[in-house]
Chain A
Amino acid sequence: MPSSQAVSSPRPVSDRLAKRASRHVKERIIEAILFASAAISVFVTLGIVYVLLKESMVFFSQVSIVDFLTDTQWTPLFDDAHFGIMVLLSGTAVSSFVALLVAIPLGTIIAIYLSEFATSHIREIAKPILEVLSGIPTVVFGFFALLFVTPILQWFLPELPGFSLLSAGIVMGIMIVPIISSISEDAMRAVPMALREGSYAMGATRLQTALRVVFPAAISGIAAAYILGIARAVGETMILAIAAGMQPNLVWNPMEPAATITSFIVQVALGDLPHGSVGYNTIFAAGLTLMLFTLVFNMFGFWLQRRYRERY
């Protein structure tokens, strides 16, 4: 009988109430701590934006934006300094293009194969292997590109220099294959079975079903995979820093060495430029450019990825 107990000895009740109150406070404090941990990620983003904008402002107070966007030379460390981001962008664009030429066919074929052709047994083995491929440190891929892939390519292309966007791009492409294949495969497996059954009922083969029914139905998810792959290629650093050389060149030929946005940042960070100098600030302007590009690609990719999920 709780009421008779309360009358005979009121203390336990108030103790219990007190305990409940302290319990409540403790719960709130814990929830606040957990929330703070989750909120830290927002501060990381704000921190990135703050640092990039702050240092870039210093840079753009010394270099005009028009020069930055239109100049065709990039020589920030020379006396006659030019800051044409086009030069670095061309290196990034060419190497990413080569990477995609490798990664899109390979990744798409693997995705179609795993989703429509392979037995579940093969899938169980293949997926972890692909995961491992994307987990290999990029510095090792860089070494591999420079000292394994380049000599092999020079067999076929004797005029290929020791550093080139081509060999860096090819290795980068192989690194990106797992990203493209796993996202595309998810998209294709999300296509309802009924569509495949309809196709088979009409007498289509597996390949016809895969290419004419499943692939078109999953196209927005596959496009998302390609775009996220581009974002990854644009942000890749070490393979390019090692195997593509670091000379800023306005090139459209993958057979030449060139610097990219990312490898330029590495190059400056390796030297010891004083904090606050223009040369130091350029890496933040370059970083801001890189951030804007990857942000656009990522946002577009996520948006596409979400869209295909809603369709069915």
Chain B
Amino acid sequence: MTSKSSAEVALIRINIARRKRWDLLFGLLGILALATGLLTIASLFVDMLIGGWERLHPDFFTNFPSRRAAQAGILSAWVGSVLVMIVTATVAVPLGVAAGIWLEEYAPKHWITDVIEINISNLAGVPSIIYGLLALGLFVYTFGLGQSVQTAGLTLALLILPVVIVATREAIRAIPQMIREAAYALGATQWQAVKDHIVPYSLPGILTGVILGLSRAIGETAPIITIGALTFIAFLPPPPIMEAAPYVNFDWLQAPFTVMPIQIFNWTSRPDSAFQQNAAAAGAILVAMTLTMNALAIWLRYRLRKNIKW
């Protein structure tokens, strides 16, 4: 061992100090990068709120769009969004959960299973506008479903199907094997084990995925524009519930419609800044909705992790 002179030790000390400074600097850089993300969300939301503050008034929710910006509202847009989401959820949730159950509980080790799995991960990466083209070619022109609530709902259902499937699979995968073994030991069939144990225990996880999927669907614009949704709708679809028998009415499925994102797009692309105020107000509402849904999903996931210890 050669003993180091004090000059060398000092050099090493300087070197160490410099390295530590770089460490600190990078830590700050990391926080700065994270802050950029946070700042974007904050400035986006605040910008929308300030821009649309004057228009955020109860009338805004109960007025139809209008040529006069000050009287325009989002009634037809939010009703359309709710109706489309109902169709989307009714189609995507059963299909996605069933597909997830099959892949986790039933799927044999077989090339068909591999094909389905690869296919689902590919579908998750397909741009949303391609789903719009699929719907235009297939639902609108081949099946003749029209540019209606049902077409939009189905299109968005296909779009979020991978999200629901992946969430279902992850939730099911977290259930330990002993639950299934216990069910079989008591004479349950596979379906009984699935329906009485696997599905109930994975329900919170599935719900998280469904909420995330719907929060994505509610903000999707491109596929709905592609199927040819109208941008100016000053009437509501026929109500789903009637006073006289048969009490329910499915005419709304075929009705023309508009949704929140399309209304925002329409107002944004007008040169008149009064309409951009409307767009900001509607944008703030849409962002608040998706943020709430995301927060709900995150909270559910957090509770789930905390409460369930197998």
Contact = CB atoms under 8 A, between A and B. Distances in A.
Interface of A: 23, 26-27, 30-31, 33-35, 37-42, 44-45, 47-48, 50-52, 54-55, 106, 109-110, 112-114, 117-118, 126, 128-133, 135-144, 146-148, 174, 177-178, 205-208, 210, 228, 231-232, 234-238, 241-242, 262, 265-266, 269-270, 272, 275, 283-284, 287, 290-291, 294-295, 298-299, 301-302
Contact of A41 (B51, B120, B131, B295): B120
B128 A41 contact: no
B155 to A, nearest CB: 11
10 contacts: A35-B102, A41-B116, A112-B30, A137-B290, A140-B48, A147-B280, A238-B222, A241-B222, A266-B226, A302-B121
Given A126-B34, A128-B298, A148-B43, A38 B127 contact: no
A52 B280 contact: no
A266 B43 CA distance: 27
Contacts of B107: 38
A159 to B, nearest CB: 21
Contacts of A137: 218-221, 261, 286-287, 290
Interface-central residue, A42, A228, A236, A295, by most chain B CB under 10 Å: A42
A146 B267 CA distance: 13
Main secondary structure of the interface of B (DSSP, over half): helix
Nearest to B36: A106
B306 to A, nearest CB: 12
Contacts of A228: 125
Interface of B: 19-20, 22-23, 26-27, 29-31, 33-34, 36-38, 40-41, 43-44, 47-48, 51, 94-96, 98-99, 101-103, 106-107, 115-116, 119-123, 125-134, 136-138, 141, 158, 161-162, 165, 189-191, 212, 215-216, 218-222, 225-228, 231, 261, 264-265, 268-269, 276, 279-280, 283, 286-287, 290-291, 294-295, 298
A142 B116 CA distance: 35
Nearest to B158: A44
A59 to B, nearest CB: 12
Contacts of B298: 128, 131
A152 to B, nearest CB: 10
A237 B129 contact: yes
B162 A294 contact: no
Nearest to A284: B133
Q: Counting chain B CB atoms within 10 Å of each CB, which of A132, A178, A232 scores highest?
A: A132
A126 B36 CA distance: 12
Nearest to B103: A38
A174 B122 contact: no
B23 A207 contact: yes
Of B191, B212, B286, chain A has the most CB atoms within 10 Å of the CB of B191
Contacts of A37: 94-96, 98-99, 102
B127 A237 contact: yes
A44 B161 contact: yes
A294 B37 contact: no
Contacts, number: 262
B123 A113 contact: no
A136 B219 contact: yes
Contact of B268 (A42, A143, A294): A143
A304 B51 CA distance: 44
Max count, chain B CB within 10 A of own CB: residue among A38, A39, A129, A146 = A38
Given A51-B137, A139-B221, A143-B264, A269 B226 contact: yes
A140 B127 CA distance: 18
A232 B130 CA distance: 13
Contact of A33 (B19, B96, B98, B265): B98
Contact of B26 (A136, A207, A241, A242): A207
A40 B127 contact: no
A302 B222 CA distance: 25
Contacts of A284: 133, 137
A35 B116 CA distance: 10
Looking at B96, B133, B191, the one whose CB has the most chain A CB atoms below 10 A away is B133
B47 A148 contact: yes
A120 B148 CA distance: 47
Given A37-B98, A205-B23, A294-B126, A283 B133 contact: yes
Most B C-beta atoms less than 10 A away, residue of A37, A52, A299: A37
B191 A27 contact: yes
Contact of B132 (A38, A207, A269): A269
B141 A291 contact: no
B269 to A, nearest CB: 7
A198 to B, nearest CB: 17
A284 B226 CA distance: 11
Contacts of A207: 19, 22-23, 26
Contacts of B190: 27, 31
Given A47-B138, A238-B221, A113 B133 contact: no
Nearest to A237: B222
